[in-house]
C-alpha cells in the first residue's frame, strides 16, 4: 500500500483569526485512538471551543470535538476528551514562557493530515478587544469596496 502524501485539512478554526491576534504558530502531532483517526479521515471535527494548555511539561489539547466513529463498537472514544500533543521540549518551554507573560493563550487553528499523520496547528494568540474586531471588519469591507470599484472601472475601460 502506498503511503499518503501531501496535506489534507480536516477542520479549521476561522473564528480564532477573528477573535485573537496571532503571534506565533506551531505544528504539533496528536496522540489519538483508532476510532478518532477513522472519524478524522471522514472529515469530521470541530475546533470551535478548543484550547491548549501546558501541564507538567506536556502540552494538552482540550474541548476539541471529534465525533464518535459511526462504525465503531463499544470501544469508541469520548468526543471531547483531553488529547496529548507531541512537540519538542524546547518548543514547549518557549511556548510556556510566552503564555506566562499574561494575556496570551494557545488556540488550535487547524487540524489536518500531513503525510498520513494527524497534526494540529497551534497559535500563541492574544485576545482582541471588541473595537479591534469592528475595525478589522471595517477594513475588510473597505478593501472589498475598493476592489469592486477598480474592477468596474476596468470593465468600463475595455
Full DSSP string of the chain: -PPP-SEEEEEE-HHHHHHEEEEEEEEEEE---HHHHHHHHTT--B-TT-EEEEETTEEEEES-B-PPPTT--TTPPPTT--EEEE--HHHHHHHHHHHHTSSEEEEEEEEEEETTEEEEEEEEEEEPPHHHHHHHHHHHHHHHHHHHHHHHHHHHH-
- HSE, side-chain direction, 13 A CA sphere, residue 67: 11
- Please give the pLDDT value at position 77: 74
The structure's pTM equals 0.81
- Which residue numbers in the chain have pLDDT < 50? 1
- Please give the pLDDT value at position 123: 94
DSSP strand pairing (117-127 vs 51-55) = unpaired
Measured distance CA(158)–CA(141) in Å, rounded: 26
- Please give the pLDDT value at position 132: 78
Q: Which of 75, 16, 87, 4 is nearest to 49 (CA)?
A: 16
Amino acid at each position: 500500500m502506498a503511503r499518503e502524501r501531501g496535506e489534507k485539512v480536516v477542520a479549521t478554526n476561522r473564528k480564532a483569526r477573528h477573535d485573537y491576534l496571532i503571534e506565533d504558530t506551531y505544528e504539533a502531532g496528536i496522540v489519538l485512538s483508532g476510532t478518532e483517526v477513522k472519524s478524522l479521515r471522514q472529515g469530521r471535527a470541530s475546533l470551535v471551543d478548543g484550547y491548549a494548555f501546558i501541564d507538567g511539561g506536556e502540552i494538552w489539547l482540550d474541548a476539541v470535538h471529534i465525533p464518535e466513529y459511526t462504525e465503531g463498537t463499544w470501544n469508541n472514544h469520548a468526543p471531547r476528551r483531553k488529547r496529548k500533543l507531541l512537540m519538542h521540549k524546547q518548543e514547549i518551554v518557549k511556548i510556556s514562557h510566552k503564555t506566562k507573560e499574561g494575556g496570551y493563550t494557545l488556540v488550535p487553528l487547524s487540524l489536518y493530515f500531513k503525510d498520513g499523520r494527524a497534526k494540529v496547528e497551534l497559535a500563541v494568540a492574544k485576545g482582541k478587544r471588541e473595537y479591534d474586531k469592528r475595525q478589522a471588519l471595517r477594513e475588510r469591507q473597505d478593501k472589498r469596496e475598493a476592489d469592486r470599484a477598480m474592477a468596474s472601472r476596468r470593465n468600463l475601460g475595455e
